[in-house]
Structure 1
Amino acid sequence: MAPLPETHHALVQRVYAEPLKVEDIPVPKPTAGSAVIKVEVANIISYMRDIYNGVRKYQYPTPLVPGTMCIGRVAALGSDATLLKEGQLAYVDCTIRGRDDPGAIILSGIAEGGTEGSKALMHGEWRDSSYAEYMKAPLENCHPVDEAKFCSPVSEGGLGYNIGQLAWLGIPLVPYGGLKSINLQAGETVVIAPATGGFGGGAVLIALAMGARVIAMGRNADALAKLKKFDSRVETVQMVGDVEKEVAALKKFGRIDAFLDISPSQAQDSTHFKSCILSLRPEGRVSLMGGILGDLPLPHRFIMRFNITLKGKWMYYREDIPALIKLIEHGNLKLDHVKLIGTYPLEEWKEAFDVAADKTGLGEIVLLKPQY
């Protein structure tokens, strides 16, 4: 690739919760343990607007180049790189862990975590993220993608996907980490709740790709009907606010092995937590991944009596990423359904954030694309 330029365009937030601005800033330089990535497209998570306007009160340092996972090309490499090559297409993950302390975790461009170690990561080497023409990322966060396989036409032996569709893999990756943490097996039945949002819908699709039968649970009957049509292995149950009715509806489908919760914070008082746990078979497993901020009342006697395992899981492990890429490459998880709602330049970030907040559902994504 061409030598790195001296400066590039990037979205910058100078003061916490104040509007972002496009600025010319120095291009990051590669250091040992890092790669400089030329960003092709960067995801916009549905709640990005509420992160940077201060509504969600995420903690991060400023000034900051915001962002999250992205698809890009390797532009320059640190001296110790052994696998990545310049010009190679790569998925760049947003979950950065301390090399000497895996418990120190940040979300690139989003949150500095809750430990002194994680804060050191985000206030130092890995402060800036992907809403820019170039970004620096840890080598271990850059996962090569077989561009010929993924993007060549089907008639030439490829999968026929475009780079925008590849960017969607950051969505099912989150619930994939939760499902793997409770060792979901092919042939098992898992309840996904709520299942009608972006991450919940992604959970349904990845559970199917793992060979499971899915009971999708949510409030929106129309959205559940769309999920039901997606695959014959999908059953649906509507949340009605009545534990007894919900348990009865779930148990109609027989033995239930696992439950993945991926609730937003607004679901704090939902009855589905208790309903889904009470529907599990003995030795059933629960993965708690949602954004609930308060405590939950749990059916203690049932959990104790039937040896139910509760497992908290934040994000996923590094090794889950190439495993998910292989699921797509081998056709287990298809991207044909992924719909690009819009691709916006950095200057139109506000419109892009609004569209992502208001119009994204199952398999729908909004992207930022830096203008070169």
Structure 2
Amino acid sequence: MKAIQIVSPGSVEQLRLIDVPTPKPGPGEVLVRVHAAGVNYMDLLQRAGVYPAPVTYPFVPGVEVAGVVEAVGAGVDDLAKGARVAGLRASGGGYAEYATLPAQQAARLPDGIGYAEATALLVQGLTAQGLVESAPEVQRGASVLITAAAGGVGALLIQVAKRAGAGKVIAAASSEDKLALARSLGADVGVNYAEAGWVDRVREATGGRGADVVFDAVGGELRAASLEGLAPRGRLVIYGAASGSLGITEAVVSGLPVKNHSISGFSLYVPLAEEPAWVSSTLATLFKLALAGSLRTPVHAPFALAHAAEAHAAMGGRNTTGKVVLTVA
């Protein structure tokens, strides 16, 4: 079968289309003929060799797959060949024509939800829901600032926060096109953080207080600036550092008590490892909402598997909106 392999850490040129043996499903696994594979920032970091959890090269990236069950392993009774499924591969291997999944993590995909759309509801959908649940004040009408609001997580987070009861959702992005998308998804206000004075506009949108909750996966100077737009007793929730810099200096930490600010973090790895029931039930809810048209899943123009390097370049250059997907079959 064909697969994309990271030969060694480095630029997009390290992504090579190669032939590898088709895997066989082990006990409790299913073999999926992949139709769509999700692309995530963690893939870019793994390719660059800077992801916190080291990988062994050569390496086939990709944690999200959606497709059709081709074969089942011993002990699998609730899925059969031909079933439409989507699921997560924590160890990678999704950038390929075939991939195995633990049967318990292969969620049945309802008719009416496309394969590319399904990948948007895996890492990004689960993360958006987990983020909102990690900040219960959102459900009490808190104002929310979302950075990278037109990205895969941001586009869903706008909608999930609104559904949960956020009083005002402020979308922050780097271009007017991205802000237009964010507004179309339900954001009340859009601010362009490529322009000077964007923090002032956050304060203006919140009556001078600042946002009660900031969800940020960018890091660096943007994260430090977002703290200036945080309301007294506000919470900054970190779920990544796409800029490559955490942005939390000693000076930032020492300033937290001045306005009773707090910082918390969220990683999908924890519920994946410890809360499988939450993962299953949340995915079922996300699929139901998407099927009903109550949750939009913007997908960037898909890239063919062989063009994975172009997908990485586009995402790394901040030239994408919504979910980035590789089409495989």
What is the TM-score when the length of structure 1 is the normalising length? 0.69
Which residue number in structure 1 is paired with residue 149 of structure 2? 195
1:88 positional shift:
1.2
Over 3 Å counting, the alpha-carbon distance change for 1:134 and 1:51 in structure 2 is: same
1:27 positional shift:
2.0
1:71 positional shift:
0.8
Is residue 301 of structure 2 the alignment partner of residue 341 of structure 1?
A: yes
Q: Describe how 1:116-135 pairs up with structure 2 within 5 A.
A: 129-135=93-99
Which residue number in structure 1 is paired with residue 39 of structure 2? 44
Which residue number in structure 1 is paired with residue 240 of structure 2? 290
Q: Describe how 1:33-112 pairs up with structure 2 within 5 A.
A: 33-45=28-40, 48=43, 51-54=46-49, 59-94=54-89, 96=90, 108-109=91-92
1:69 positional shift:
0.8
Q: Describe how 1:167-316 pairs up with structure 2 within 5 A.
A: 167-170=119-122, 171-183=124-136, 184-185=138-139, 187-212=141-166, 213-221=168-176, 223-231=178-186, 234-239=188-193, 245=200, 248-252=203-207, 256-263=211-218, 265=219, 267-268=220-221, 270-277=223-230, 279-280=231-232, 282=233, 284-291=234-241, 292-293=245-246, 295-296=248-249, 297-298=252-253, 299-302=255-258, 304=260, 308-315=261-268
Which residue number in structure 2 is paired with residue 122 of structure 1? none
Instruction: Decide whether the 8 Å contact of 2:203 with 2:211 is kept in 1.
Output: no
Over 3 Å counting, the alpha-carbon distance change for 1:249 and 1:38 in structure 2 is: same
Q: Distance in 2 between matches of 1:12 and 1:244?
A: 41
Q: Distance in 1 between matches of 2:197 and 2:318?
A: 29
What is the TM-score when the length of structure 2 is the normalising length? 0.77
1:214 positional shift:
0.9
* SS at 1:223 equivalent: helix
Over 3 Å counting, the alpha-carbon distance change for 1:287 and 1:322 in structure 2 is: farther
- The more displaced of 134-143 and 207-216 is 207-216
Map Cα deviations across residues 313-367 of structure 1 (whole Å, 9 max, x no partner): 11263424333223323433134xx2441331x3333334334444743335342
Give the root-mean-square deviation of aligned CA atoms.
3.3
1:42 positional shift:
0.8
Instruction: Decide whether the 8 Å contact of 1:164 with 1:340 is kept in 2.
Output: no
Which residue number in structure 1 is paired with residue 5 of structure 2? 12
Which residue number in structure 1 is paired with residue 106 of structure 2? 142
Q: Distance in 2 between matches of 1:310 and 1:139?
A: 36
1:134 positional shift:
1.1
Which residue number in structure 1 is paired with residue 287 of structure 2? 325
Q: Distance in 1 between matches of 2:21 and 2:49?
A: 27
Instruction: Name the aligned partner's letter for residue 260 of structure 1.
Output: F
Over 3 Å counting, the alpha-carbon distance change for 1:359 and 1:369 in structure 2 is: farther
Unpaired runs of 5+ in structure 1? 1-7, 97-107, 110-128, 152-160
Q: Distance in 2 between matches of 1:237 and 1:340?
A: 22
Percent of residue pairs bearing the same amino acid type: 24
Instruction: Name the aligned partner's letter for residue 341 of structure 1.
Output: A
Which residue number in structure 2 is paired with residue 166 of structure 1? 118
Over 3 Å counting, the alpha-carbon distance change for 1:198 and 1:272 in structure 2 is: farther
* SS at 2:14 equivalent: coil
Over 3 Å counting, the alpha-carbon distance change for 1:163 and 1:250 in structure 2 is: same
Which residue number in structure 2 is paired with residue 363 of structure 1? 322
1:140 positional shift:
3.3
Unpaired runs of 5+ in structure 2? 273-278
* SS at 2:204 equivalent: helix
Over 3 Å counting, the alpha-carbon distance change for 1:93 and 1:62 in structure 2 is: same
Over 3 Å counting, the alpha-carbon distance change for 1:350 and 1:54 in structure 2 is: same
Over 3 Å counting, the alpha-carbon distance change for 1:332 and 1:222 in structure 2 is: closer
Q: Distance in 2 between matches of 1:10 and 1:222?
A: 33
* SS at 1:85 equivalent: coil
